[in-house]
């Protein structure tokens, strides 16, 4: 950090600042809550109970650090009331149904949470004068995926094959409509609100226990003394440690807050091309790092459709936000193995997570 403290990062913009996170009880939301507390922010959260057991939110006792409202993003009146009481200055929207395979099972819920949840959040923000910056977190899967071997840029068309991916494309369109209709950059002086979307890659890290995700599936298998069964071994994904996009969201929110309408647009926050590896490579590498005879096999049963090849072009974020990935995929997997072995050993997981946050910003 070149001699500066955590609270001085991002030009000190988060110190004593009211920040609202939706989806703060989830995997990414828990990491972001801890990171914002390290930056000196006053953190508020709106979400359902943690979606997994165990959960990082519970294991790190984050209810001691965050002012939480446990409620559904689909309940507009409850959400509006909470925002009006809190009066946040910066809002980061991450509440979502985040799983592709789950979206095949529950498409109505997926669209209700991911689309109408976005509508509700933006409508609630529209009636709170304290709000100055909003980041809506979507996904790399929001694009109309043509299985190209080059990265998608922010101006590519929205699409999405499955209900999850499509619902996130819809969330992008909702954000665009609200930006044009209520938070238009051309009339920024009148409303003072800047809103952007952020599209990350396949986010991985310690503290993720979700179903149907490669790393959590590996941890469950190794804990049960089983061989990990992988699907789509040759599918290539833009893997990145959870701290990479979180740093990007915070850099983006800082720019929205301090410079406003110039940054009110869509942003890709994915890894470098060299870190877009296939599922088999990721699995073999993490098995080797873990040791203890960890192994895997390929599940040959028919699977629901998932994209085979997906990359992001992040040149805009690099040139205009000065945001760059720090940890390559091998370092990322090393951090994940260390985090999970510390968890299994019963170490203080809040301290373990904060240590990795400090390692990231010192790298």
Q: What is the pLDDT of residue 136?
A: 98
Residue pair 286/330 in contact (Cβ under 8 Å)? The answer is no
> Could you tell me if residue 12 is inside a domain?
no
Which among 2-11, 162-171, 234-243 has the top mean pLDDT?
A: 162-171
**What's the CATH code of the domain at 216?**
3.40.50.720
Give 57 or 145, the one with higher predicted confidence: 57
> Could you tell me if residue 3 is inside a domain?
no
> Could you tell me if residue 11 is inside a domain?
no
Confidence band (pLDDT; 50, 70, 90) for 149?
A: confident
Domain span holding position 144:
18-362
Query: In the predicted model, is pLDDT for residue 224 greater than 90?
Result: no
Q: What is the pLDDT of residue 302?
A: 63
Q: What percent of the chain has pLDDT over 90?
A: 84
What is the pLDDT of the chain when averaged over all its residues? 94
> Could you tell me if residue 13 is inside a domain?
no
The mean pLDDT value for 312-321 works out to: 96
Q: What is the pLDDT of residue 307?
A: 61
Domain tally, the chain: 1
Q: What is the pLDDT of residue 231?
A: 84
Q: Average the pLDDT over each of 184-198, 219-233, 304-318 and give the range with the smallest value.
A: 304-318
pTM: 0.95
């Amino acid at each position: 950090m070149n001699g500066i403290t955590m609270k001085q990062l991002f030009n000190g913009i988060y110190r004593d600042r009211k920040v609202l996170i939706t989806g703060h009880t989830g995997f990414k939301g828990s990491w972001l809550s801890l990171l914002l507390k390290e930056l000196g922010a006053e953190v508020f959260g709106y979400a359902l109970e943690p979606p997994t057991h165990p959960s990082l939110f519970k294991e790190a006792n984050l209810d001691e650090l965050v002012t939480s409202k446990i409620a559904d993003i689909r309940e507009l009146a409850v959400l509006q009331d909470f925002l009006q009481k809190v009066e946040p200055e910066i809002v980061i929207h991450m509440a979502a149904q985040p799983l592709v395979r789950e979206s095949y099972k529950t498409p109505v819920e997926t669209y209700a949470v991911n689309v109408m949840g976005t509508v509700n959040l933006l409508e609630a923000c529209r009636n709170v004068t304290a709000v100055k910056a909003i980041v809506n977190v979507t996904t790399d899967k929001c694009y109309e995926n043509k299985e190209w071997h080059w990265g998608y840029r922010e101006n590519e068309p929205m699409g999405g094959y499955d209900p999850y991916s499509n619902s996130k494309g819809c969330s992008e369109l909702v954000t665009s409509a609200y930006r044009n209709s209520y938070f238009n950059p051309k009339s920024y002086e009148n409303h003072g609100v800047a809103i952007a979307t952020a599209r990350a890659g396949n986010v991985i890290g310690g503290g993720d226990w979700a179903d149907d995700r490669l790393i959590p599936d590996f941890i469950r298998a190794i804990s049960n003394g089983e061989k990990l069964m992988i699907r789509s071994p040759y599918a290539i994904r833009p893997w990145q440690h959870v701290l990479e996009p979180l740093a990007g969201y915070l850099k983006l929110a800082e720019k929205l807050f301090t410079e406003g309408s110039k940054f009110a647009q869509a942003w890709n926050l994915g890894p470098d091309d060299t870190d877009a590896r296939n599922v088999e490579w990721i699995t073999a590498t993490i098995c080797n790092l873990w040791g203890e005879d960890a192994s895997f096999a390929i599940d040959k049963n028919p699977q629901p459709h998932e994209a085979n090849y997906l990359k992001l072009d992040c040149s805009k974020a690099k040139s205009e936000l000065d945001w760059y990935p720090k940890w390559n995929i091998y370092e990322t997997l090393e951090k994940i193995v260390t985090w999970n072995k510390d968890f299994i050993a019963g170490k203080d997981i809040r301290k373990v997570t904060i240590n990795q946050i400090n390692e990231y910003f010192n790298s």
